[in-house]
């Protein structure tokens, strides 16, 4: 049997847990090897996590992002295809590129490029979540459903799933091919 790295092993374990959790309709507790952060992934009652209410773009974006779980954070990183880890906006840019949508490179530019959702709008899987301020978004994540996002949070962490309810959350966008 081939040896795999800790990050790849953690990502594989997460995929297995997600599949098992979706089949059983239960919540899964996800822990990433050397990363001390754990996140509880609650199954969306609407079926958003299993794809029944996701658009084709959102399914592609989320499938790509899920495939990066466990990849190390690297500031300015564009991902393993470039011999690097990901930072938050690099992950978002690559995930949307996989769905055929071109986004700018930085979180602030990504916020300004998307269809900005009015406050109180129900989030949908694939929406982008922004932290900081509209003039200086210092973080972006991809909404999964049930209050959870996939993101590349900071140095020393890996691409992971976590709750998006951070104190500096300020808004969301819904990127489309036309905007």
Residue 131 has a pLDDT of 98
Indicate whether 122 belongs to any domain. yes
Q: Which residue has the higher pLDDT, 58 or 23?
A: 58
pLDDT grade, residue 148 (50/70/90)?
very high
pLDDT at 19: 37
Range of the domain at 86: 46-173
DSSP 8-state symbol, 147: T
- CATH number of the structural domain spanning residue 160: 3.90.1720.10
Asked if residue 22 belongs to a domain, the reply is: no
Report the number of distinct structural domains present in the chain.
Answer: 1
pLDDT on residue 113? 93
pLDDT: is 73 or 28 the higher one? 73
Q: For residue 40, is it within any domain? A: no
User: Could you give the percent of the chain with pLDDT greater than 70?
Assistant: 69
Q: For residue 114, what pLDDT is reported?
A: 87
Looking at residue 58, its pLDDT comes to 96
Burial 69-89 (b: 16+ CB within 10 A, else e): bbbbbbeebbbeeeebbbbbb
Q: Tens digits of per-residue pLDDT, 33-71?
A: 333 333 333 333 233 333 334 699 999 999 999 999 999
Asked whether residue 37 is assigned to any structural domain, the reply reads no
In a domain, 157, yes or no: yes
- Burial (CB count within 10 angstroms: exposed 0-12, middle 13-18, buried 19+), residue 113: middle
Decide if 33 is inside a domain.
Answer: no
Reported in sequence order, the residue ranges of the chain that DSSP labels E, i.e. its strands, are 28-32, 35-41, 128-133, 136-145, 148-151, 160-163, 169-173
The answer, yes or no, to whether residue 2 has pLDDT greater than 80, is no
pLDDT in tens, 86-96: 999 999 999 99
Task: Report the alpha-carbon angle 37-43-121, nearest 5.
Answer: 95
Is the model's pLDDT at 3 over the cut of 60? no
Residue 14 lies in a domain: no
Average pLDDT, the chain: 78
What is the structure's pLDDT at 176? 87
Q: What is the pTM of this model?
A: 0.73
Question: pLDDT tens-digit profile of 94-137?
Answer: 999 999 999 999 999 999 998 999 999 999 999 999 999 999 99
Residue 147 falls within a domain, yes or no?
A: yes
């Amino acid at each position: 049997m081939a040896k795999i790295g800790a990050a790849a092993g953690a990502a594989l374990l997460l995929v297995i847990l997600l599949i098992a959790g979706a089949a059983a309709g239960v919540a899964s507790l996800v822990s990433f090897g050397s990363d001390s952060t754990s996140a509880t992934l609650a199954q969306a009652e609407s079926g958003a996590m299993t794809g029944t209410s996701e658009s084709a773009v959102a399914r592609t974006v989320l499938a790509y992002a899920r495939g990066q779980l466990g990849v190390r954070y690297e500031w300015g990183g564009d991902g393993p295809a470039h011999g690097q880890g990901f930072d938050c906006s690099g992950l978002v840019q690559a995930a949307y590129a996989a769905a055929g949508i071109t986004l700018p490179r930085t979180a602030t530019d990504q916020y300004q490029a998307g269809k900005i959702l009015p406050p109180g709008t129900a989030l949908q899987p694939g929406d982008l979540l922004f932290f900081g301020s509209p003039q200086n978004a210092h973080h972006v994540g991809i909404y999964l459903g049930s209050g959870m996002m996939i993101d590349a949070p900071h140095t020393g962490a890996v691409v992971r799933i976590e709750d998006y309810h951070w104190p500096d959350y300020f808004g969301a966008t819904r990127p489309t091919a036309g905007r």
